[in-house]
Amino acid sequence: MLKAPKHPHTQALLSVLPESPERVVLTGEPPDPTRIPGGCRFHARCQVPASGKAASEGADGRCSSELLQVPPAVPEAQAACYFAKRSVPTSA
């Protein structure tokens, strides 16, 4: 799974490895742990909404407001992301 991460945060973390073809540069600040935001806890820094990909698919509000479930990304793995099944950008 580390060779083909489905979650954008995992993609960003692994992009710092020397063998990664592309570096993901996250923007924004980590959330205050005493005031965790609603929706996906990664939404304030995620490269998918930041790139406009979520908005272009009419789903920008889902990341910041909907209670995130853990949908199956591929049969042998799961990722807590609305866009895990889709091709997500690896950089903002």
Which residues bind to ligand SF4, rule: CB under 6 A? Answer: 8, 40, 42-43, 46, 48-49, 54, 63, 68, 81-83
Least Å from the CB of residue 18 to ligand SF4? 24
Nearest to ligand SF4 of 19, 22 (CB atom): 22
Q: Which of 32, 56, 57, 58 is nearest to 45 (CA)?
A: 32
Nearest to ligand SF4 of 16, 47 (CB atom): 47
Contact (Cβ atoms closer than 8 angstroms) between residue 41 and residue 33: no
Spatial separation of the C-alpha atoms in residues 35 and 19, rounded to whole Å? 36
